[in-house]
């Protein structure tokens, strides 16, 4: 796959520019690749509302607190990270950069945080693991359960520390990219890594999946299982009761059910339903460190970035991903200090204006 040689340096990927990363990435990506990453489903209403949902919140900062030292670090399922900003699962990174997910993993590791590797990755888990720090593996439960088992066993053997079961995609709806010929590499390792082609029926998500899949996946792997794609409080409680080690509030980047509520709006009820002992993560439209502060105040333990990581990868490779995550951490640190919080434990709903 041809990839443009000239790329902006990582110094150009500061937090002040995250909202226009997509515009800049569009100049270096093949048109079909850009459209694949950027598109939402149907009318793209949910995709378009995500960022504004965070920006609509207003803060009530505390004053006269000791903020001479700020610690953005968090612990997730026993792993200490430099910040609560993770790289979420996104597909086909070799469309964005010739090194694909290995570059993403290296960039995330250098930033001291965590990668959730997509099951639609275009690098083998073993290759990614060599470059990665701590990482989790995303799972779609497929119609062919044997394919799912092989994927999971391979991820476990490669060193994944947890599994992320994505549950909001029993079917794939129409998207703006429908019918596009995507510029996947000719030696697409997505197919080879599990020994099947992506167009075979067994590769499709299993629409009959139920809550028992959480415990089945845990028994299969021996790893904690987080459930991604939860927007309802009752679903979150049911997932935890069924054995989930955590819940990820997500509307799939606006790529599944259009007009689904934004993650920012769904988060408070989900966090309240499962309680403080269960980590709740969130993704969708998080574009600044202040957005991260709002997410933590609404009840999240951490956030996941989707499209911004792909844009940074396209623009700067591993160094671009590191620069992006470092800039989120810097912006979060500044926002915390200005809000009167010296560590994530200080961030709670009291920071939010009730009218927002």
**Structural domains in the chain?**
10-351 (3.20.20.70)
Average pLDDT over residues 325-346: 97
Strands 246-249 and 135-139: unpaired
Whether the predicted pLDDT of 38 surpasses 80? yes
What pLDDT, on the 0 to 100 scale, is given for residue 344? 98
Binned at pLDDT 50, 70 and 90, residue 173 comes out as confident
Taken in order 99, 105, 108, 110, is the CA torsion positive or negative?
negative
What pLDDT, on the 0 to 100 scale, is given for residue 10? 54
Average pLDDT over residues 1-6: 42
How many Å apart are CA 113 and CA 85, to the nearest integer? Answer: 7
Binned at pLDDT 50, 70 and 90, residue 354 comes out as confident
What pLDDT, on the 0 to 100 scale, is given for residue 239? 98
Whether the predicted pLDDT of 269 surpasses 80? yes
What pLDDT, on the 0 to 100 scale, is given for residue 80? 98
What pLDDT, on the 0 to 100 scale, is given for residue 133? 97
How many Å apart are CA 172 and CA 255, to the nearest integer? Answer: 8
Whether the predicted pLDDT of 193 surpasses 60? no
Q: Which is higher by pLDDT, 344 or 4?
A: 344
Average pLDDT over residues 155-182: 85
Average pLDDT over residues 169-193: 67
What pLDDT, on the 0 to 100 scale, is given for residue 172? 84
**Backbone angles phi and psi of 305, in degrees to 5:** -100, 135
Strands 79-81 and 74-76: antiparallel
How many Å apart are CA 215 and CA 106, to the nearest integer? Answer: 31
What pLDDT, on the 0 to 100 scale, is given for residue 162? 98
Evaluate whether 103 touches 93 at the Cβ level (below 8 Å).
yes
Average pLDDT over residues 214-243: 98
Average pLDDT over residues 304-309: 98
C-alpha distances (whole Å) from 350 to each of 5, 272, 333 are 48, 14, 18
> Is residue 262 a known part of a binding site?
no
What pLDDT, on the 0 to 100 scale, is given for residue 350? 97
Residue 283 region, left (φ>0) first, then alpha (ψ -120 to 50), else beta? beta
Whether the predicted pLDDT of 45 surpasses 90? yes
What pLDDT, on the 0 to 100 scale, is given for residue 1? 38
Q: Which is higher by pLDDT, 227 or 191?
A: 227
Among this protein's residues, is 218 annotated catalytic?
Answer: no
End-to-end CA distance of the chain: 46
Whether the predicted pLDDT of 180 surpasses 80? no
CA-based radius of gyration for the chain = 19
Binned at pLDDT 50, 70 and 90, residue 20 comes out as confident
Average pLDDT over residues 260-274: 98
Least trusted range by pLDDT, from 127-141, 163-177, 273-287, 309-323: 163-177
The angle formed by the CA atoms of residues 167, 104 and 54, to the nearest 5 degrees, is: 55
Strands 280-283 and 302-305: parallel
Strand ranges inside the chain, DSSP E: 74-76, 79-81, 85-87, 115-117, 135-139, 163-166, 225-230, 246-249, 280-283, 302-305
> Is residue 243 a known part of a binding site?
no
> Is residue 326 a known part of a binding site?
no
> Is residue 252 a known part of a binding site?
yes
Average pLDDT over residues 275-281: 97
Whether the predicted pLDDT of 120 surpasses 70? yes
Q: Which residues pair with 142 in a beta bridge?
A: 205
Whether the predicted pLDDT of 248 surpasses 70? yes
> Is residue 69 a known part of a binding site?
no
How many Å apart are CA 202 and CA 224, to the nearest integer? Answer: 25
> Is residue 354 a known part of a binding site?
no
Q: Which is higher by pLDDT, 117 or 174?
A: 117
What pLDDT, on the 0 to 100 scale, is given for residue 174? 72
Q: What length is written for the chain?
A: 356
Provide the token pair at 265.
Answer: 């709006």
What pLDDT, on the 0 to 100 scale, is given for residue 204? 84
Q: Indicate which residue of 93, 124, 252, 353 is catalytic.
A: 252
Average pLDDT over residues 269-284: 97
Across the chain, what does the average pLDDT equal?
A: 91
The angle formed by the CA atoms of residues 71, 307 and 47, to the nearest 5 degrees, is: 110
Least trusted range by pLDDT, from 10-19, 245-254, 295-304: 10-19
């Amino acid at each position: 796959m041809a990839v443009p040689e000239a790329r902006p340096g990582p110094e150009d990927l500061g937090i002040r520019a995250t909202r226009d990363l997509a515009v800049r990435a569009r100049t270096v990506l093949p048109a079909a690749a850009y459209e694949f990453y950027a598109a939402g489903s149907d009318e793209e209403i949910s995709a378009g509302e995500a960022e504004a949902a965070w920006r609509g919140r207003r803060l009530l900062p505390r004053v006269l607190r000791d903020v001479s030292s700020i610690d953005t670090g968090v612990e997730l399922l026993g792993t200490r990270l430099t910040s609560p900003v993770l790289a979420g699962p996104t597909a086909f990174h070799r469309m964005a950069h010739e090194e694909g997910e290995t570059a993403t993993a290296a960039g995330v590791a250098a930033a001291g945080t965590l990668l959730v590797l997509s099951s639609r990755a275009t690098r083998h888990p073993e290759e990614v693991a060599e470059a990665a720090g701590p990482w989790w593996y995303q799972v779609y439960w497929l119609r062919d359960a044997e394919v799912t088992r092989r994927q999971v066993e391979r991820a476990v053997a490669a060193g994944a520390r947890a599994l992320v079961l994505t549950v909001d995609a029993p079917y794939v709806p129409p998207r703006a990219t429908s019918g596009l010929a995507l510029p996947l590499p000719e030696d697409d390792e997505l197919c080879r890594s599990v020994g099947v082609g992506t167009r075979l029926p067994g590769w499709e998500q299993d629409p009959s999946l139920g809550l028992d899949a959480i415990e089945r996946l845990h028994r299969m792997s021996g790893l904690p299982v987080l459930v991604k794609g939860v927007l309802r409080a009752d679903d979150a409680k049911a997932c935890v009761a069924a054995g989930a080690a955590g819940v990820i509030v997500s509307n799939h980047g606006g790529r599944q059910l259009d007009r689904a509520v934004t993650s920012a709006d769904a988060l408070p009820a989900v966090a309240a339903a499962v309680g403080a002992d269960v980590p709740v993560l969130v993704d969708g439209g998080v574009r600044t460190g202040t957005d991260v502060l709002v997410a933590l105040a609404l009840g999240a333990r951490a956030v996941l970035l989707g499209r911004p990581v792909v844009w940074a990868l396209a623009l700067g490779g591993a160094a671009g991903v590191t620069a992006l995550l470092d800039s989120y951490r810097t912006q979060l640190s500044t926002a915390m200090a200005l809000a009167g919080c010296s560590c994530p434990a200080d961030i709670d709903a009291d920071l939010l204006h009730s009218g927002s």
